[in-house]
Structures are given as C-alpha cells and as structure tokens.
Amino acid sequence: MRPLTEQEIRTAFVNCTKGEAKRLSVPRGLADRPWEDLDYLGWRDPQAPDRAYLVTELDGRLRAVALRCPRPASWRLRRTMCSVCLATHTGGVSLMVAPKAGKAGQQGNSVGIYICSDLACSLYVRGKKHLDPGARLPESLTLEEKIQRTVTNIAAFVVKVTA
C-alpha cells in the first residue's frame, strides 16, 4: 500500500467516534514502515493491550477499523489459523472483535475475525517474518495469488464492519 500519514489514518476510522479516533495511539515512525510489503497496516495499542487497529484501502478509500482483543494472558494456546493470511501459529492468532460502523455498532453489533495477533499477515505471506515449520499448509498458489487472497480477506472483513 502507499505510505500513509497519521492524519489520514485518524480520519479513516469507520467504527469509533471522532474523539476516539483523535486520541487513539497511531504508531510512531510511519515513514519507516515497509509500506510496499503491506496489504494492510495493523498495530496493537501499546497503552491498551486489549486494543488493536488496522487500516487498508477499499475501492480507493482508506478504511480504518478499531478492534478489541483478549489480553495476551488469555490468548488460546491451541493452534488457530489466521483467517486473513491462513498461517497457523500456536498462541499467535487472536479472535479480535470490531464493533460495526454506525447505528449497528451503537446497538452492540460486532464482527469477529481470527487474525495474527501481531497483525503482520502481509509479512508472513511474503516470508519477511518467520513462521514455524508447519505453520503453513503446502499450497500451489504463487506469491502474487497469496497476496491477492490476503487483500481479498481483509477487504471482506472491512466490508462486514461497514455493512
């Protein structure tokens, strides 16, 4: 994806109030992120371990989603598959929950997703971050196809949050 600024990220949130979007923690050093290797930018809130965020581009528009996740201590230790990049790591996949955008969210509706706990799916897909042997099922897809699948999966999630 193209490099984003803090301001762009803050204004792209679809499922929290403007005040929350203004206050939440956006990672420092945005200019140094490996943007060309990212299908989405995801990060955990260093001040609030039960919060995570992701931002991606959907039909040419930036969409950022606020997520809740269990605290590290309660991460399940059984092997779970990330539904975005399809990696399986022990304890490294979390069920995260996003309140839906708009009225549906205010009424308490949310969308859940199993996703890599460090939100680094893009780097796992590209082999830029190490996975344990057996974390990936053998596949005949090319790298390009795997990247496309990651983009499709994250977009489908964001569509569900905004629907």
- The residues binding Zn ion (CB under 5 A) are 82, 84-85, 116, 121
DSSP symbol at 91: T
Locate 99 and state its tokens: 């309140």
Least Å distance, CB 88 to Zn ion, is 10
Least Å distance, CB 20 to Zn ion, is 25
Number of Cβ within 10 Å of residue 162's Cβ equals 18
Of residues 94 and 162, the one with the C-beta less far from Zn ion:
94
**Sequence-distant (≥ 6) Cβ neighbours of residue 1 within 8 angstroms:** 35, 38, 39, 40, 41, 56, 57
Least Å distance, CB 23 to Zn ion, is 27
Locate 111 and state its tokens: 């969308």
Of residues 44 and 105, the one with the C-beta less far from Zn ion:
44
Give the three-class secondary structure for 131. coil
Of residues 14 and 84, the one with the C-beta less far from Zn ion:
84
| Euclidean distance between CA atoms 53 and 15, whole angstroms | 11
Q: Helix, strand, coil proportions of the chain in percent (round to 5)?
A: 30, 25, 45
Number of Cβ within 10 Å of residue 51's Cβ equals 17
Of residues 9 and 85, the one with the C-beta less far from Zn ion:
85
| Euclidean distance between CA atoms 57 and 106, whole angstroms | 24
Of residues 26 and 123, the one with the C-beta less far from Zn ion:
123
Least Å distance, CB 108 to Zn ion, is 27
Least Å distance, CB 57 to Zn ion, is 18
